[in-house]
Amino acid sequence: GNSVTQMEGPVTLSEEAFLTINCTYTATGYPSLFWYVQYPGEGLQLLLKATKADDKGSNKGFEATYRKETTSFHLEKGSVQVSDSAVYFCALSDPRTSGTYKYIFGTGTRLKVLA
């Protein structure tokens, strides 16, 4: 079945450091890929998305490229801020295979940015 694997956290960085959070997926079809962010005490918010191979999603300085050849969707940011401290979830949706639009989530990666 479909699955998502994320790097384990927590990830601790200094402000202005470069961020990479790895995400790889297994899917039998052609999934859409998402990154969601969960700030303390809040619900999940969509950060960015990509629906086909080589698409690049971007938002708030974060980027991720849909790489079909490596089945990856790594999240990157050139210079993190303290306010980026949160839990980041990679997810896929594969309606052509599953018949529904449900998400399959990774386990989440906690990011802590130090001033």
Partner 1 sequence: EAGVAQSPRYKIIEKRQSVAFWCNPISGHATLYWYQQILGQGPKLLIQFQNNGVVDDSQLPKDRFSAERLKGVDSTLKIQPAKLEDSAVYLCASSPQGLAAYNEQFFGPGTRLTVL
* 33/25 Cα distance (integer angstroms): 9
Span of 11-19, 22-30, 67-75, 85-93 interacting with partner 1 by CB under 8 A: 85-93
Q: How far apart are CA 35 and CA 106, in angstroms?
A: 10
- Nearest CA to 23 among 106, 87, 102, 111? 106
Dist. CA 48–CA 71, nearest whole Å: 17
Shortest Cβ distance from residue 103 to partner 1 (Å)? 7
Among 14, 15, 46, 78, binds partner 1 (CB under 8 A): 46
Task: Look at the block and give the residue holding tokens 């384990």.
Answer: 8
Could you say whether residue 32 binds partner 1 (CB under 8 A)? yes
Rounded least distance, CB 99 to partner 1, Å? 8
Structure tokens at 101: 């639009």
Residues within window 52-71 making contact with partner 1, judged by CB under 8 A: none
Binding footprint of partner 1 on the chain (CB under 8 A): 4, 32, 34, 36, 41-46, 49, 51, 89, 91, 93, 95, 98-103, 105-108
